[in-house]
Amino acid sequence: MSKKLDRRKKYTRKVLKESLVTLLSQKTISKITVKELCEMADVNRSTFYTHYSDQYDLLEKIEEEIAEDMNQYLSSYSFNVEEESLQMTEKLLEYIKDRQFMFQTLLNENGDPTFEVRLRTIAQRFMINNWLEGQQLKEVDMTYLSTFVVSGAVHVIKEWIEYDVDVKQSPKEMAELINKFANEGLSCLE
């Protein structure tokens, strides 16, 4: 009986998450009601409130789940130091490509700006560490540099996923481009 209940809970949470993401692709979180979510997910309002306090709580849980999943996904890989940033960037882009609609929605103007901050933090942790290894920069300069590089990378990724990623560059090509920009800056245009 317990397994059946667990499956129902998982299913309910899944359809509520999918419904919220679908609605977020059309309008801001402040314009989405619990009633509307429940109608789309075909669940009772009382069932909704068993799992979440409101639509903002649901959105936060979705973002936390993605951040945790992304951290686990990226942590499952080990790379040699020379190729770490390129390969880690490629793995991050593959992860995003596989969940393109979710990322398009959460990073669009209707999404929660804190999700982009979470994404930048994860990217900073996984992409920047070896770029800065051995650099003779003060800690505050490293912080500014990593913020600059990762913010640029996140905006490039947003541009990339805004359209059909299969038509544009592959995750490998985008990883090479992002790393080229990060490592060479404007000098890569010469």
**pLDDT reported for residue 34:** 96
Whether residue 46 sits in one domain with residue 102? no
Whether residue 68 sits in one domain with residue 82? yes
What CATH number did the domain enclosing 103 receive? 1.10.357.10
pTM of the prediction? 0.80
Mean pLDDT of 38-55: 95
Whether residue 163 sits in one domain with residue 96? yes
Do 70 and 154 meet the contact criterion of CB atoms below 8 Å apart? no
What CATH number did the domain enclosing 44 receive? 1.10.10.60
Residue with the larger pLDDT of the pair 94 and 144: 94
Mean pLDDT of 38-63: 95
Closest CA to 119 of 69, 185, 177, 184: 69
Q: What percent of the chain has pLDDT over 90?
A: 30
**pLDDT reported for residue 36:** 96
Neighbour count for residue 157 (Cβ, 10 Å):
22
Model confidence band, residue 183 (pLDDT cutoffs 50, 70, 90): confident
Q: How many domains does the chain have?
A: 2
**pLDDT reported for residue 11:** 92
**pLDDT reported for residue 43:** 95
Whether residue 171 sits in one domain with residue 151? yes
Residue 135, phi then psi, degrees to nearest 5:
-80, 145
Whether residue 151 sits in one domain with residue 122? yes
Per-residue pLDDT reduced to its tens digit, 98-147: 988 898 888 888 888 888 888 888 777 765 555 555 566 676 677 777 78
Write down the mean pLDDT value for the chain.
82
Whether residue 32 sits in one domain with residue 99? no
23 has pLDDT over 90: yes
Do 171 and 179 meet the contact criterion of CB atoms below 8 Å apart? no
Model confidence band, residue 50 (pLDDT cutoffs 50, 70, 90): very high
Do 180 and 174 meet the contact criterion of CB atoms below 8 Å apart? no
Whether residue 72 sits in one domain with residue 49? no
**pLDDT reported for residue 15:** 96
Whether residue 132 sits in one domain with residue 42? no
**pLDDT reported for residue 187:** 67
Mean pLDDT of 47-76: 91
**pLDDT reported for residue 179:** 83
Do 110 and 29 meet the contact criterion of CB atoms below 8 Å apart? yes
Residue range(s) defining the domain that contains residue 30: 2-57
Whether residue 162 sits in one domain with residue 96? yes
